[in-house]
Structure 1
Amino acid sequence: MGYAALLRAPHVTRLLLGTLLGRLPAGMTALVIALALREAGTPYGRIGLATAAYAIAAAVGGPVLGRIVDLTGQPRVLLASAVLAGTGYALLALAPGSALAAPLGAAVAGLCMPPLEPCLRSLWPDVVAPEQLDTAYAFDSASQQVLYVAGPLAVAGIAGALSPTAALWTAAVLGLLGALVVAGSAPARAWQAPPREASAGLLGPLRSPGLVLLLLGLAGAGWAVGAQNVLFIAYAEQHPGGLPGGAGTLLALAALAGLLGALAYGGARWKADTATRTWVLALGMAACYLPLLLLPGPWPMAALAFVSGLGLAPLLAAAFVLVAELAPAGTVTEAFAWLVTLFATGNAAGYAVSGALVDTSLHAVALCSAGGITLGGLLLLAARTRLRPAAPAPVPALT
């Protein structure tokens, strides 16, 4: 079943458009916070505090909201969180220069960011036929590549035409609109998590050793992407005028490759099980990153940037399926939220470590980037037997 058949399936287009709309603020917020606070004359130290407050709060809030969704359903959580996140954006927009209101608003916006990503991934098995599931997750992963580019572009366009404050209000409205579109859909209103496994306990999906290992491996992918951003920015600064668009062009080429890679992955028919595909794709992503160590001239570097982006989205598409397979019953939305959190945490760590290495050499930054996904892929390879979901217990025969 191809992408045309997927998009013709009932509810798919609405869910995709709603989640894209509502997830766009996630790609806008870190940049727009920095621009809005800087326009208000805020020192860089307080800008860093506000953006850190947003990132940390989002990392904490995602799994908490995911667990509430598993326990109570999707619509109320999506709508309530969107309203609360909008309140955070409003605080930022109304008082960007405040030493108290700005970081508080950023924290509220992050903590209450509507869990549209995990909700959509929990809905896919109920919305599409089993043979379309890989295609649906691949299309989901491909759309994420669009957001990597569209979010910063939206901020630049709105901030340039109006102001950074207007971009904050836009993020609040987009989040609420996206939540309304998804929460009002029939699949979201009907969705209910299966009864929660008694063994899940307080840790929920993290009681699954295979899932924890998978999340750690994907944190390595996040690390690689964060370090890659620093590498491209530093490389462009060292080669001024060497490539039109500089770092933006390199990042866009990587995102384009990710989009094409996800579409190719979803259009293929795979004989290997999901666990095998996941660790193979992780090592494949590492192979795509290793040529960055060459650091050639600007135009060959553009080609390597494209190559480096090919592996991420297919890896995530396979991982989405595997997360659903490994999560204990009744915890799947929280499990998807943990994936978002671990990837974002790895991303931030890779960004920070590579930023500290920039003054050493670009080769150290490239090694930092390639090393993250290489270690992640090797971890998944070593843990490959733990990544296979347990066989269901046999049903006792009736006598």
Structure 2
Amino acid sequence: MLASYRRLFAPPGALAFTLAGLLGRLSFSMTGVGTVVMIAARRDSYALAGAVSAAGVAAVAIGLPLLGRLVDRHGQRRVAVRGVLAAAVPFAGLLLCVHYGAPAWTYFVCWPAASVQPNLGGMARARWAHLYRDDPAARHLANSFEQALDEFCFMAGPVLSMLLCTSFFPEAGLLIAGLLSVTGVLLFAAQRRTEPPVRPTAHGEGGVVRQAGGLRAVLPIFLATGVAFGSMEVTTIAYSDALGQRAAGGGLLALVAAGSCVSGLAFGLVRFRRPAAARLLAGTAAMAALLLLPTAAALSGAGLTVLAVALFAAGSGTAPTMVAGMTVVQESVPESRLNEGMSLAVSGIVVGISAGSALGGAIAQHASPGTGYLLPAGAAASAVLLTALGYRRLRRPAAARAAHGPSAAENSAVAVGAGR
């Protein structure tokens, strides 16, 4: 496995932009926990902390596609540097407002403006696609590797943020996240050798969502998948708390990400002959089946040890689903609008996570412990149904390429960036 992935870094600059991007992506996974812990500690209100966090999620869902469009038009370096520096001002403003006890409304001004930052995960995948534009097997390997990196960040980021907040002061987690974000983006943008060129938009390529049937079909699937992610996180924390082992919640969620990380690395080594739509259908079906395991473990009262094993197994269905779904996005949008298309897909996941967290919290508040695991299982089942209903549109981009020969979109990238 190591030898297969090592060959990805043969091109000059590949390792440098990967490490730089990893810093920025780690910071993104730290901000959610850092914001909630900071506001809850200073204002003694989880309701306020949750509302501010939700406002940031809404801003990401709206702003990320707009930022992606700017990257398509002007290039990664120009947009990334300006974007992260512009976000740094309200980011610092939130830290100061919380620390010095400013009115709560200032949080709702600062945090949404600070939340919209460059999508380093998407831009990293675009670089891999540019480097390996003539090697589909290497692109698949790189996309799977990037998905594994995403999962690693979502394992390490929340734990690091919580550790900083509790060991030093409430603002420490978000402060370090901001520093990592600026450092990572600036170092990433400095890697000029691997930056893909700006592609001019051809006539008729302006409406990505309107024209891309595959992308339109993927968005509701990713929305349902996001609901599964968000509800499983809240349900796991609430369930461990109900058993009197609240501290175990973070470790259980890390096992979900670990399962996805391992499966993502293994997925990259598999050579596929079936189209991406078929892989997406198989991935959502596997994810739905595997999510029945934590449901059964919780409802049967099997205990946290059995639940931990079930969550690790359930997480293994995530990476293949995400990689296959974003491959459909890759095949659906014109190369000149790739970042916008990827950002729209990530926004769908983010909105789903937010909705899933709210629904999962409501179920945890009013139902018996463990009942909430029915929600992610149901959301995953909905993703299977949506994939089956939209299968013809999902296959259409690949069928068009087979009929008309390779297109520029074949050499584009996939991204998760995601939100979770």
2:381 — aligned with what? Answer: 374
Pairing 1:309–2:315 present:
yes
Name the counterpart of 1:6: 8
**Alignment-derived partner of residue 272 in structure 1:** 274
Which residue does the alignment assign to 2:128? 124
* 8 Å Cα contact 1:20/1:178 also seen in 2: yes
Cα 1:158–1:226 shift into 2, 3 Å: same
1:156-195 CA distances to partner (integer Å, 9 max, x unpaired)?
Answer: 2222332232332222211111111221112454x23433
Q: How does 1:231-250 map to 2 (within 5 A)?
A: 231-241=235-245, 245-250=247-252
Q: Secondary structure at the match of 2:253?
A: helix
Secondary structure, counterpart of 2:336 in structure 1? coil
Instruction: Specify the code of the residue in structure 1 equivalent to 2:214.
Output: G
Post-superposition shift, 1:356? 1.2
Residue matched to 1:213: 217
Letter in 2 for 1:318: A
Change (3 A) 1:227 1:206: farther
**Higher deviation after alignment, 351-360 or 260-269:** 351-360
2:341 pairs with 1:332: no
Give, as a single letter, the amino acid of the residue that structure 2 aligns with 1:104. Answer: V
Matching of residue 136 in structure 1 with residue 142 in structure 2 = yes
Shift in CA distance, 64/260, structure 1 to aligned 2, threshold 3 Å:
same
The AA in structure 1 aligned to 2:171 is T
Tell whether the 8 Å contact from 2:159 to 2:250 is kept in structure 1 after alignment.
no
Q: Which moved more, 1:153-162 or 1:18-27?
A: 153-162
The match for 2:409 is: none
- Aligned equivalents of 1:166, 1:235: Cα separation in 2: 28
Deviation at residue 345 of structure 1 after TM alignment:
0.7
Are the aligned partners of 2:125 and 2:142 in contact in 1 as well (CA < 8 Å)? no
Structure 1 distance, partners of 2:52, 2:44, is 10
Native 8 Å contact 2:37 2:162 kept in 1: no
* TM-score w.r.t. length of structure 1: 0.92
Contact 1:65 1:334 in 2 (8 A): yes
* Equivalent residue in structure 2 for 1:344, among 334, 347, 350: 350
- TM-score using structure 2 length: 0.87
Q: Which amino acid aligns with 1:125?
A: A
The answer to whether the 8 Å contact 2:287/2:380 transfers is: yes
Structure 1 residues 197 and 211: alpha-carbon distance in aligned structure 2, compared to 1, 3 A threshold? farther
What per-residue deviation string (whole Å, max 9, x for no partner) do you get for residues 25-48 of structure 1?
A: 221112212222233336444323
Q: Identical aligned pairs, as a percentage?
A: 29
Pairing 1:83-122 to 2, within 5 Å after superposition: 83-96=85-98, 97-98=101-102, 99-111=104-116, 113-122=117-126
- Over residues 244-263 of structure 1, what are the superposed CA-to-partner deviations in whole Å (9 max), with x where a residue is unaligned? 95212221111111111001
CA deviation map 1:319-376 (0-9, x unaligned): 2322111113411101111121101111111111121112223454121111111111
Which residue does the alignment assign to 2:172? 166
Instruction: Tell me the amino acid that sits aligned with residue 141 of structure 1.
Output: Q
Q: Which moved more, 1:115-124 or 1:131-140?
A: 115-124
Where does the alignment leave 5 or more consecutive residues of structure 2 unmatched? 406-420
TM-superposed CA distance for 1:197, in Å, is 4.0
Q: Distance between the aligned counterparts of 1:245 and 1:44, measured in 2?
A: 17
SS at match of 2:158: helix
User: CA 1:40 to 1:6, structure 2 compared with 1: closer, same or farther past 3 Å?
Assistant: same
Letter in 2 for 1:257: G
1:321 corresponds, among 315, 318, 327, to 327
Measure, in 2, the Cα distance between the counterparts of 1:49 and 1:249. Answer: 25
Q: Distance in 1 between matches of 2:97 and 2:154?
A: 27
For 1:108, the aligned partner's letter is: A
Rounded Cα–Cα distance in structure 2 between residues aligned with 1:103 and 1:348 = 17
Q: Distance in 1 between matches of 2:260 and 2:163?
A: 24
In the other structure, the counterpart of 2:254 is: 252
Q: 1:192 aligns with which of 179, 191, 197?
A: 197
Q: Measure, in 1, the Cα distance between the counterparts of 2:44 and 2:86.
A: 24
CA–CA separation in structure 2 for the residues paired with 1:212 and 1:176: 33
Relative to structure 1, the CA distance from residue 394 to residue 46 in structure 2 (aligned partners, 3 Å threshold; closer, same or farther) is: closer
CA shift for structure 1 position 377 = 1.7
User: Which residue of structure 2 lines up, in the alignment, with residue 67 of structure 1?
Assistant: 69
Q: How many residues align?
A: 390
Residue 201 of structure 2 aligns to a residue whose secondary structure is coil
